[in-house]
């Protein structure tokens, strides 16, 4: 850090921005003409600019200079030369204006100008462009009650939309009618404010927006009120109308911002306070902030403010790009005041452990219409794996979607991004990749717009009479060109191992048609050209090439193509090979580290022998003795010297350096020699605070304070000078050095005033003298009160407390000092407050209740019996804030020796530091009760024989530090606790994790064991049972394991004789312990029972046995499975299932070799209760498992079934039947044993004649018989599985109930009709074979209500009753057809049609007549005997029926019971029932096949039954 003042005339000035349009136009014309005369820049120049921009500039803080007489003369000479230069420039501009006007005066040029003005929109419409202010807003200062007009000119394609803002708030003309007027004429946007008032003073901005971006222009409007017209501004805004310029102020910097440390994504503020004279609120000082000598501008990432006596720079979102040397430059009356300090920004936590840090300084170069070159700087890798490549991402401006540009990581820090959209703006970011993962993304680059860089060079702008702009393209000067020329200068501008970039110059002439390029390649010298960009329409004179073979030389050529055709090929490029030309730099040379300050080290090194476009260096450090390195900087540093900050004072470090370029990091340099962090050795600074402590008329005793800086070594001497206050000659007081900060000067003249000064000395020599003290009169002190206390110091400074210490006054007055009073005041205040109302007798005071970060001063007054003496000199200000890393005293007991100690680890030390221990703030010194040892940064105070005399408050101060100190109060309880622990360490026992215990093993063996926390290999132990030692032998096995700490004894045969007390005695070095177990009574009986059981189990398992006894499971199909697992089986082992001693033979024989057997019990219900048994046997033995399915087991099985069935249950489905409305719930399985509850309107339903509850194996149902409106409402079924209730619901109300009720009535009517329709009950055969001349009688019984009509047919023709064929129907019950003396003509198909108003049916009989003597024909199998039912045309229900339901339901088949029948008569046949007339039968189609019924067709509800789960 440094602060320097530089004369303003020695600094590089930034020209003030001119907003005059004519000035801008003239500058653009001069620049354009100059560019046209000069040749185009080659791409190598662009690359050089990119490389230069990537490098860090050298930052040099200008030296401090005063304006001397020679400087004033030099300033006048420079001013004269500058004035002459401005005159020459003005004359040249005037000459160029006249020449331009002469050229455009001719009529031809005017006509051309008008034509071009008409064509200009067409030309500009072809180029998408983001908004750009041709004329920006200008600031205005106006009088009150006058109007002001702000205007600007904006261009862009599409045409931008402009919005106006006042102080960041949109301007709304409707909010104050007549106040604002917004206009837009011919591209000029204006805001008119009528009758301005002082409150209109603000910053106004115009924001232009189109799809390609946003631009803004800002200007300040200050409204001035005439003198005497009242207050300047009720808002406190004062117009900048003063004659005082910011550079005329006197500025003095006070508190400077220090070296700072931040973390990525955090925020930080750099603040520098200052005193400004005169302090004018409307004229703040002119402040500029620089980072690495680059001027910073306000943005979203950089916020600046000046005012309130401070200059502030805030970085709200830190990135490693922000690391660097920050400089604040304030322009003052005498030049500039500056202050600089470094800001370090470390990596944020990685996204994945071991992932690298984020890259930085991402920038875009060589911008074209669809191509841009992205470059960045690599991150430092210290303990992480090496970086293997980078991913480049892009994002269109205004969006938040990032797209990865490269599929595989690129290994160099440059990447050509291709395929951009013309006119679109983009941001770019980079992520690093290593073997552990991908880093966080870098900060995104500035916005760049993909535009043709050569397009602007092809435009000429000429201004006519200050009114018109003439835009002329080079295309217009070329004439009418169709085919373009060939490109030129084809070469590789970027050559790397992973890719190369081809570049060329556009053709001339190129024509007016849109142009693109075709690229071809060939192996050098072969002439076999191949096209490269087959799928890409290339518009930029740049193209990245990736798929090239290694170690092959290639040549390239380019064609220009437009709508008219293709140009000739360009000249081939020079042969080029895909190779990394440079590679990483060589390792830096020797690294040397030297002392700088108490927390920093100066590191310098030799530059690498091979720089290879060096970007900078990374410096790493590590603590001596550690293997882990840490980064000292996080952004490449340009120079070969660096100050490493933030180190621990007194710690020893080594350093190494790596060089950086686009290929990555070089090898590490050799490590520097270890260096301790100490201030550089120098003479001490001046002592200060000389105060008079006593005077007797001939001598005076003075004291002083230590120098603020000791110079890197201990101050070991002081030298005092004196002089008479009336003279200038100083005289030495002491030739021999004074080691204390108090001295008595003798041989003085009474009544004379003396001045004193003091010099401090150390190893480096004698430092500068202090400032002369105030004149002190040598006179005898005779006051009765004591003199002032002195040497006020502070200890244990924390956020809210501190300890103040002082020394007793030298002059005690008329009596001994009895106490002290302490006064405190905040820094800068003279109002002292007494902290202790009663004087304290000791010379220290604990001060609490302080405000964190506040600074305080103190003074002490001594008192005796005569009163309170004069106060001491006011102490130095002390800030209530603990030092970073401060630790407190720790009380403990040494684990090896058992010593009680107090210990402190200092947060900083130096070579000269000492730990000074005190008890009750009195130095302990050489005391036999304690011993002090120090190692490194840790000091330990050990008590030799602690007791109550050692109780008290102990403190320690580390000398030659910034106040490292701490205290600890040793209480009686804490001491007793530590003494107990000390005794345990000095008289150790073997600690046990588990005392003596027992466990029953597999074979019935009993194991007695205990576990110690730790055992050594030399441990010894004894097992004692009932006062007798047991040794390892027959029946007992004793062993131990050092690793686990287990000691055990196993008893093979555990019997009643083993009842008693078991004890283990252990000796391990000095430590001893024992543990006992009493095994008698019920405890022993339980152990013996378990041992016998395990013994029997072992014997059982010698043959085939059940490893898992019978248990049940339920499958998803709700089949109950009785399962078991078997072990130790063979092929000959048999397995049998039994129920109540009756063997069960399953369909699939059990396979014991599979290790498991199962018995399925499908459709489980209460009938399956009983005792099931499984047996397993072979020649080695037999084992049995019994499972009782009853009681709780049965309930558990039902609950398990209910759990699966309830989960599979479908929603309730409505099903209508002739009896009523049925609600059905389908599930995998249902049984009445399941806990199922039906509810209606939350009320439980009991099964009754009205509400029937039942189910099948696949569903549960509830039927509402003869429903009425009372049964409307919400229905639900609840299936409980013991843990959860599965509920399904149905709302039977509204339209659902109406539709269901209508369907119920329809089905009820249909069932009634089916029951009462006409039908053939029986008596007719299918086939009849009869001999000629015999009589045939076909007789059957019919039924129907009302009595049906009977009609006979032969071959579908109605049969009339004749003598040959007689038809009878007796009693409405018996129908017959008698054929007398049949003939062969009587053969055929006969049928009977039985019908009434509810329907009927057909029955067919096949009759075959054969002659006598003929072979009886073989009877043909007829149709099924079941008669064919025919529906009545309109069935009439017995009661008034409801209309057919819109949601039909299926009709369940039911057996019909015949009712009483009546003989039908034709007159009684209802008119609605058609009566078949002879000879045509009713059915027009052939008689339906026998046995086919035609009942009422099935109808279903709207919601059909859902598929079962």
Which two structure tokens, joined as six digits, stand for 246? 């910011």
Question: Which pLDDT score, from 0 to 100, does residue 106 have?
Answer: 62
What's the first-to-final CA gap in the chain, in angstroms?
79
Q: Is the peptide bond before 1249 cis (omega within 30 degrees of 0)?
A: no
Question: Which pLDDT score, from 0 to 100, does residue 910 have?
Answer: 78
Q: What is the DSSP letter of 1088?
A: H
For 345, counting Cβ atoms within 10 Å of its Cβ (0-12 exposed, 13-18 middle, 19+ buried), the class is buried
Which two structure tokens, joined as six digits, stand for 330? 């304030």
- Spatial CA neighbour of 1349 closest among 1484, 1478, 1468, 1495: 1468
Q: What are phi and psi of 524, to 5 degrees?
A: -55, 125
What are the pLDDT digits (tens) for 465-483? Answer: 665 666 666 666 665 677 8
Which two structure tokens, joined as six digits, stand for 1344? 């129907």
Give the whole-angstrom CA distance, residue 191 versus residue 206: 9
Write out 1219-1261 in H/E/C secondary structure: CEEEEEEECCCCCCCCEEEEEECCEECCCCCCEEEEECCCEEE
Give the whole-angstrom CA distance, residue 1308 versus residue 1442: 10
Low-confidence residues in the chain, pLDDT < 50: 1-67, 122, 124, 229-243, 1421-1509
HSE, CB side, 13 Å, CA atoms: give it for residue 159. 8
Do residues 1399 and 1318 make contact, with C-beta atoms less than 8 angstroms apart? yes
Task: Using the structure block, give the residue that is written with the tokens 């803004």.
Answer: 216
Q: How many residues does the chain have?
A: 1509
Q: What is the DSSP letter of 1091?
A: H
For 1080, counting Cβ atoms within 10 Å of its Cβ (0-12 exposed, 13-18 middle, 19+ buried), the class is exposed
- Spatial CA neighbour of 441 closest among 483, 391, 493, 381: 391
Angle at 1140 between CA 1138 and CA 1143, to 5 degrees: 30
Give the whole-angstrom CA distance, residue 201 versus residue 239: 8
Which residues fall within 8 angstroms of residue 815, CB to CB, at 6 or more apart?
784, 864, 865, 866
What is the enclosing helix (H) or strand (E) of 1098?
helix 1081-1100
Do residues 501 and 416 make contact, with C-beta atoms less than 8 angstroms apart? yes
- Spatial CA neighbour of 1201 closest among 1124, 1122, 1279: 1279
Which value, to the nearest 10 degrees, does the dihedral of the CA atoms of residues 473, 476, 478, 483 take?
A: 90
Give the whole-angstrom CA distance, residue 1290 versus residue 1294: 12
Which two structure tokens, joined as six digits, stand for 377? 């700087």
Which residues fall within 8 angstroms of residue 593, CB to CB, at 6 or more apart?
601, 602, 603, 653, 654, 655, 672, 673, 675
Task: Using the structure block, give the residue that is written with the tokens 């045309």.
Answer: 1433
Angle at 424 between CA 419 and CA 425, to 5 degrees: 105
Q: What share of the chain is helix, strand, coil (3-state, %, to 5)?
A: 15, 40, 45
Do residues 963 and 794 make contact, with C-beta atoms less than 8 angstroms apart? yes
Which two structure tokens, joined as six digits, stand for 1004? 């019935």
DSSP structure string for 129-152? EEEEEEE----EEEETT--EEEEE
Sheet with 213-224, strands from edge to edge, namely 140-143, 213-224, 202-210, 161-166, 169-170
Q: How many CB atoms neighbour CB 1357 within 10 A?
A: 13
Give the whole-angstrom CA distance, residue 297 versus residue 674: 42
Give the whole-angstrom CA distance, residue 817 versus residue 843: 11
DSSP structure string for 903-964? EEE-S---TT--EEEEETTEE--S-TTEEEEEETTEEEEEESS--GGG-EEEEEEESSSS--
Question: Which pLDDT score, from 0 to 100, does residue 1098 have?
Answer: 86
Q: What is the DSSP letter of 184?
A: E
Sheet with 180-185, strands from edge to edge, namely 129-135, 148-157, 188-193, 180-185
Q: What is the DSSP letter of 538?
A: B
- Spatial CA neighbour of 1344 closest among 1213, 1472, 1224, 1456: 1456
Q: What are phi and psi of 466, to 5 degrees?
A: 65, 10
Give the whole-angstrom CA distance, residue 841 versus residue 864: 11
Q: What are phi and psi of 1295, to 5 degrees?
A: -65, -35
DSSP structure string for 832-846? -EES-SS-BSSSEEE
Cα distances (angstroms) measured from residue 1143 to each of 44, 326, 1136, 1165, 1175: 99, 97, 7, 20, 10
Question: Which pLDDT score, from 0 to 100, does residue 1398 have?
Answer: 87
Give the whole-angstrom CA distance, residue 1373 versus residue 1344: 9
What are the pLDDT digits (tens) for 633-647? Answer: 999 999 999 999 999
What is the enclosing helix (H) or strand (E) of 1306?
helix 1294-1316
Task: Tell me which long-range contacts 1288-1293 makes (C-beta under 8 A, separation of at least 24).
Answer: 1288/1209, 1288/1210, 1288/1211, 1288/1212, 1288/1225, 1289/1211, 1289/1212, 1290/1211, 1290/1212, 1290/1213, 1290/1214, 1290/1223, 1292/1214, 1292/1221, 1292/1223
Cα distances (angstroms) measured from residue 1038 to each of 436, 1004, 1025, 1031: 51, 17, 13, 7
Give the whole-angstrom CA distance, residue 1001 versus residue 1095: 9
Q: Are strands 1251-1255 and 1243-1244 parallel, antiparallel or unpaired?
A: unpaired
Task: Using the structure block, give the residue that is written with the tokens 């007016």.
Answer: 512
- Spatial CA neighbour of 603 closest among 653, 662, 566, 543: 653
With a pLDDT cut of 70, the percent of the chain lying above it is 83
């Amino acid at each position: 850090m440094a602060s320097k003042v530089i004369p303003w005339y020695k600094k590089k000035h930034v020209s003030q921005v001119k907003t005059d349009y004519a000035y801008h136009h003239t500058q653009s014309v001069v620049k354009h003409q100059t560019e046209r005369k000069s040749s185009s820049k080659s791409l190598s120049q662009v690359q050089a600019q990119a490389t230069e921009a990537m490098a860090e500039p050298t930052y040099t803080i200008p030296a401090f200079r005063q304006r001397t007489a020679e400087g004033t003369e030099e300033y006048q000479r420079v001013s004269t030369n500058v004035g002459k230069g401005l005159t020459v420039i003005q004359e040249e501009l005037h000459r160029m204006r006249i020449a331009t006007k002469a050229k455009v005066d001719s009529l031809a040029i005017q006509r051309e100008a008008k034509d071009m003005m008409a064509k200009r929109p067409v030309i500009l419409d072809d180029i998408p462009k983001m908004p750009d202010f041709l004329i920006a807003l200008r600031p205005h200062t106006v009088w009150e009650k006058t109007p002001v007009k702000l205007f600007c000119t904006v261009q862009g394609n599409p045409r931008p939309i402009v919005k106006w803002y006042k102080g960041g708030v949109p301007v709304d003309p409707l909010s104050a009618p007549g106040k604002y007027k917004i206009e837009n004429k011919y591209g000029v946007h204006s805001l008119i404010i009528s009758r301005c008032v002082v409150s209109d003073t603000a910053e106004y901005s115009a924001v232009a927006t189109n799809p390609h971006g946003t631009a803004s222009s800002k200007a300040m409007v200050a409204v001035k009120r005439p003198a005497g017209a009242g207050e300047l501004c009720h808002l406190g805004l004062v117009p900048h109308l003063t004659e005082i310029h910011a550079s005329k102020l006197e500025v003095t910097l006070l508190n400077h911002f220090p070296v700072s440390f931040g973390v990525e994504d955090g925020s930080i503020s750099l603040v520098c306070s200052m005193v400004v004279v005169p302090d004018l609120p409307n004229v703040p000082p002119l402040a500029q902030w620089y980072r690495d000598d680059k001027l910073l501008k306000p943005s979203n990432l950089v916020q600046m403010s000046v005012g309130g006596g401070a200059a502030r720079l805030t970085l709200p979102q830190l990135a490693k790009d922000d690391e660097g040397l920050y400089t604040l430059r304030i322009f003052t009356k005498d030049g500039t005041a500056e202050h600089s300090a470094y800001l370090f920004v470390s990596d944020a936590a990685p996204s994945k452990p071991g992932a690298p840090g984020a890259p930085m300084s991402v920038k875009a170069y060589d911008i074209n219409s669809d191509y841009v070159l992205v470059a960045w700087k690599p991150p430092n890798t210290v303990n992480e794996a090496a970086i293997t490549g980078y991913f480049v991402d892009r994002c269109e401006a205004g969006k938040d979607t990032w797209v990865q540009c490269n599929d595989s990581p690129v290994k160099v820090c440059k990447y050509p991004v291709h395929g951009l959209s013309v006119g679109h703006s983009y941001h770019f970011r980079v992520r690093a990749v290593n073997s552990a993962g991908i880093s966080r993304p870098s900060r995104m680059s500035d916005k760049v717009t993909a535009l043709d860089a050569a397009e602007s060079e092809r435009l000429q702008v000429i201004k006519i009479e200050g009114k018109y702009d003439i835009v002329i393209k080079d295309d217009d000067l070329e004439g009418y060109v169709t085919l373009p020329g060939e490109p030129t200068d084809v070469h590789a501008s970027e050559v790397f191992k992973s890719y190369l970039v081809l570049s060329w110059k556009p053709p001339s002439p190129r024509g007016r048609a849109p142009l693109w390029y075709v690229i071809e390649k060939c192996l050098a010298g072969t002439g076999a050209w191949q096209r490269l960009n087959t799928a890409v329409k290339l518009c930029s004179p740049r193209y990245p090439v990736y798929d090239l073979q290694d170690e092959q030389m290639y040549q390239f050529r380019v064609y220009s193509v437009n709508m008219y055709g293709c140009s000739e090929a360009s000249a081939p490029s020079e042969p080029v090979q895909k190779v990394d030309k440079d590679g990483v730099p060589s390792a830096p040379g020797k690294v040397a580290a030297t002392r700088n300050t108490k927390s920093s080290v100066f590191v310098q090194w030799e530059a690498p022998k091979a720089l290879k476009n060096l970007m900078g260096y990374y410096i790493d450090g590590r603590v001596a003795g550690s293997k882990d390195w840490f980064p000292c900087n996080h952004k490449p540093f340009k120079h070969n010297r660096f100050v490493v900050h933030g180190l621990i004072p007194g710690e020893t470090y080594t350093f190494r350096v790596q060089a950086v370029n686009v290929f990555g990091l070089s090898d590490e340099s050799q490590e520097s020699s270890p260096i301790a962090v100490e201030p550089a050795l120098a003479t001490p600074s001046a002592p200060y605070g000389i105060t008079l402590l006593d005077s007797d008329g001939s001598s005076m005793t003075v004291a002083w304070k230590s120098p603020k800086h000791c110079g890197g070594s201990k101050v070991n001497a002081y030298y005092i000078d004196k002089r008479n206050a009336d003279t200038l000659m100083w005289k030495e007081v002491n030739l021999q050095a004074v080691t204390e900060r108090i001295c008595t000067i003798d041989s003085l003249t009474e009544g004379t005033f003396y001045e004193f000064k003091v010099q401090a000395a150390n190893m480096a020599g004698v430092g500068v003298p202090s400032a002369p003290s105030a004149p002190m009169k040598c006179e005898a002190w005779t006051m009765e009160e004591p003199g002032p206390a002195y040497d006020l110091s502070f200890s244990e400074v924390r956020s809210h407390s501190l300890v103040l210490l002082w020394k007793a006054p030298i002059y005690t007055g008329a009596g001994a000092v009895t106490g002290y009073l302490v006064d405190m005041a905040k820094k800068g205040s003279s109002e002292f407050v007494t902290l202790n109302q009663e004087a304290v007798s000791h010379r220290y005071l604990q001060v609490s209740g302080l405000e964190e970060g506040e600074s305080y001063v103190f003074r002490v007054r001594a008192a005796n019996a005569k009163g309170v003496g004069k106060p001491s000199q006011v102490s130095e200000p002390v800030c209530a804030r603990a030092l970073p890393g401060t630790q407190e005293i720790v009380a403990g007991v040494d684990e090896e020796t058992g010593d009680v100690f107090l210990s402190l680890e200092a947060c900083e030390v130096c070579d000269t530091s000492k730990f000074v221990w005190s008890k009750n703030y009195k130095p302990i010194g050489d005391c036999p009760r304690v011993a002090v040892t120090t190692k490194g940064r840790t000091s330990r105070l050990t008590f030799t024989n602690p007791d109550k005399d050692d109780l008290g408050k102990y403190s320690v101060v580390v000398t030659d530090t910034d106040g490292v100190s701490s205290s600890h109060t040793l209480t009686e309880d804490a001491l007793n606790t530590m003494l107990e622990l000390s005794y345990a360490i000095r008289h150790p026992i073997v600690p046990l994790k588990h005392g003596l215990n027992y466990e029953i093993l597999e074979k019935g063996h009993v194991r007695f064991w205990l576990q110690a926390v730790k055992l050594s290999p030399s441990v010894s132990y004894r097992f004692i049972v009932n006062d007798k030692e047991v040794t390892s032998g027959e029946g007992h096995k004793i062993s131990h394991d050092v690793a686990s700490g287990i000691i055990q004894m196993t008893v093979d045969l555990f019997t009643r004789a083993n009842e008693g007390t078991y004890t283990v005695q252990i000796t391990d070095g000095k430590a001893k312990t024992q543990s006992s177990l009493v095994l008698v009574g019920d405890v022993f009986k339980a152990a013996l029972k378990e041992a016998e059981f395990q013994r029997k189990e072992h014997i059982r398992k010698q043959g085939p046995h059940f490893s898992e006894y019978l248990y049940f499971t339920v499958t998803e199909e709700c089949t109950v499975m009785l399962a078991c697992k078997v072990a130790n089986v063979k092929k000959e082992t048999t397995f049998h299932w039994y129920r109540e001693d009756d063997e069960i033979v399953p369909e699939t024989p059990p396979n014991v070799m599979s290790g498991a057997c199962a018995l399925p019990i499908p459709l489980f219900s209460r009938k399956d209760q009983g005792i099931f048994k499984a047996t397993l046997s072979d020649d080695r033995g037999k084992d049995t498992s019994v499972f009782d399915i009853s009681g709780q087991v049965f309930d558990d099985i039902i609950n398990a079934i209910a759990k699966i069935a309830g989960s599979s249950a479908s929603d309730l489905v409505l099903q209508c039947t002739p009896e009523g409305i049925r609600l059905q719930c389908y599930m995998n399985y249902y049984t009445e044993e399941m806990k199922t509850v039906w509810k209606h309107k939350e009320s439980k339903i009991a099964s009754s004649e009205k509400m029937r509850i039942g189910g099948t194996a696949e569903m549960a149902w509830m039927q509402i018989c003869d429903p009425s409106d009372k049964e409307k409402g919400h229905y639900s079924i609840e299936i409980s599985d013991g843990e959860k209730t599965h509920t399904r619901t149905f709302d039977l109300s509204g339209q659902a109930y109406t539709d269901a009720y209508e369907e119920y009535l329809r089905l009820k009517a249909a069932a009634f009709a089916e029951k009462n329709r006409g039908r053939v009950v029986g008596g007719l055969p299918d086939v009849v074979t009869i001999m000629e001349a015999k009589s045939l009688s076909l007789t059957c019984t019919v039924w129907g209500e009302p009595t049906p009509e009977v009609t006979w047919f032969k071959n579908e023709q109605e049969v009339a009753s004749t003598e040959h064929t007689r038809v009878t129907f007796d009693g409405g019950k018996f129908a017959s057809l008698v054929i007398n003396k049949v003939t062969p003509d009587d053969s055929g198909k006969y049928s009977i049609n039985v019908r009434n108003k509810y329907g009927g049916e057909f029955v067919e009989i096949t009759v075959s007549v054969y002659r006598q003597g003929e072979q009886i024909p073989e009877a043909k199998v007829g149709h099924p005997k079941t008669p064919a039912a025919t529906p009545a045309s309109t069935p009439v229900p017995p009661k008034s029926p409801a209309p057919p339901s819109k949601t039909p339901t299926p009709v369940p088949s039911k057996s019909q019971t015949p009712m009483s029948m009546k003989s039908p008569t034709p007159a009684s046949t209802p008119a609605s029932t058609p009566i078949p007339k002879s000879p045509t039968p009713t059915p027009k189609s052939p008689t339906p096949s026998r046995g086919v019924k035609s009942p009422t067709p099935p109808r279903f509800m709207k919601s059909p039954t859902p598929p079962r789960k």
